[in-house]
Amino acid sequence: MPREDKPRNKKHMLPPPTTETVEATQRWLERVFPEDYLSFLRNHNGYEPDPAIVISGGRVLERFLPVLSTEQAEEFLDPAEYSIELEQVTGNLDLRIIIGDQDIVSYVPIAELAFGDFICLDYTNAGPPTIAIWDHEQSIDENPVTHQTAATFTDFLQQTGLNHLT
């Protein structure tokens, strides 16, 4: 059953990222985003469910991380909110989302959970990324601790009752 959220406004959704911004982000991460996630970004960039959603294990989904150009971040985010943008979060987590001595991000954070955990695109297996919960309390440099939660981004949205956003 779809969730009934409050009407969308500037706080609950941001403009879609430009094609150039998405391509630059993927190049920086050396990862290709799955089409269902790209479609979500085009239509629901930075989406904040209101009220927040309780997902597996009692974790609370607070917001999806937006993908924004520097200009968009300056226009649509308060300076205190810059840290919620996908590239900023990925940079801040740094070695905690890389496995061993690999020089490439294994987990790309796409949504923020309460208390410091993140929903991530999991690129550790061959094929399209799956969806995992990254545990900030257990993860250390080059040894991230995650819990698989869905086979695809679409499956994750269905599990959370947000499938109306696909």
Q: What is the pLDDT of residues 117-141, one digit of tens each?
A: 899 999 998 899 999 998 878 877 7
Beta pairing partners, 161: none
Give, for 10, the enclosing helix (H) or strand (E): none
Mean pLDDT of 16-25: 92
Residue 122 identity (one-letter amino acid):
D
- Going by C-alpha positions, the residue among 72, 69, 11, 64 that lies closest to residue 41 is 64
The amino acid that residue 110 corresponds to is I
- Averaged pLDDT of the chain: 81
pLDDT score for 85: 64
pTM: 0.83
Distance of CA 157 to the CA centre of its chain: 12
The pLDDT of residue 6: 38
Distance CA(4)–CA(133), nearest Å, equals: 24
Residue-level pLDDT at 7: 37
Give the whole-angstrom CA distance, residue 14 versus residue 88.
16
Domains and CATH numbers, the chain: 19-161 (3.40.1580.10)
